[in-house]
Amino acid sequence: MGKELHFTVSALDCDDDTLVIKAKGLPSGATLTQAFDTATRKQVATFSWTPTVLDVNTVRKLKFIAVDQDNDGTKPEVSDPRWTTVRVWPENTDPSAGGVQTLAIQRAQWQSSNSQLVLAGRIKFSKILTKAERESLVAEPVLIMDEATQAVIGQVNASSNGNWSAALSLDAGAVPCSVIVAFHGEHASRTVKRAPSQCH
């Protein structure tokens, strides 16, 4: 947001006919300026756009075609379309840092029958992240810590849709009264349900 985006789209007609490059899906305020490059004999269109705060966290899919203007009164010839996607991040935000919106612990429960601390939660990713970008983020594990001591007691990798779960085998005396999880700068905490008596 706040930074002007420029890129060019070009087309070549083997007969040197006059071309115009057109676009569908241009956002408000965007321009598509036409020019002809005599060195390459290509029609060139320059896309320019400065997103506003209203465009933050939006995805724009743009379609470009080249239209042959020298059609002798017949129906204009149109090229196959080419597509590109423009995503707008908040100003001064690194996508890897801004990709995680919230982190939550949905379950934290001590199971004395099998001496396991069972946890589950969810990461909410920015809606403009691609699947590949989400997969890159979840390559880093969710850290699970004792909230009182900040000591790491376990870690787990989330799925690309943001769900995560863990079952940590612990001695009853080492079970925390509450846990905190950390992932890419986000934190969440929750009291452990059915924690041993030292927590009461």
What are the pLDDT digits (tens) for 150-163? 999 999 999 999 99
Answer whether 56's CB lies under 8 Å from 89's CB: yes
Name the CATH architecture for the domain at 5-87.
Sandwich (2.60)
Which band of pLDDT confidence, cut at 50, 70 and 90, is reported for residue 89?
confident
- Report percent pLDDT > 70 for the chain: 92
Cross-strand pairs, 35: 44
Answer whether 64's CB lies under 8 Å from 21's CB: yes
Which band of pLDDT confidence, cut at 50, 70 and 90, is reported for residue 130?
confident
Whether residue 190 has pLDDT greater than 90: yes
Residue 16's pLDDT is what? 76
Q: Where are the beta strands (DSSP E) in 2-115?
A: 5-12, 19-24, 31-37, 42-49, 59-68, 77-78, 82-87, 100-111
Q: What is the pTM of this model?
A: 0.62
- DSSP annotation of 134 reads H
- Range(s) for CATH 2.60.40.60 in the chain? 5-87
Residue 93's pLDDT is what? 57
Residue 191's pLDDT is what? 95
Residue 196's pLDDT is what? 83
Which band of pLDDT confidence, cut at 50, 70 and 90, is reported for residue 96?
low
Which band of pLDDT confidence, cut at 50, 70 and 90, is reported for residue 67?
very high
**Alpha-carbon distance values, 112 to 21, 30, 151, 170, 185 (Å):** 69, 61, 21, 10, 32
Name the CATH architecture for the domain at 95-199.
Sandwich (2.60)
Which segment, 1-5, 92-96, 145-149, is predicted with the most confidence on average? 145-149
Residue 72's pLDDT is what? 65
Place of tokens 């999880």: 181
- Report percent pLDDT > 90 for the chain: 62
Answer whether 125's CB lies under 8 Å from 100's CB: yes
Residue 1's pLDDT is what? 56
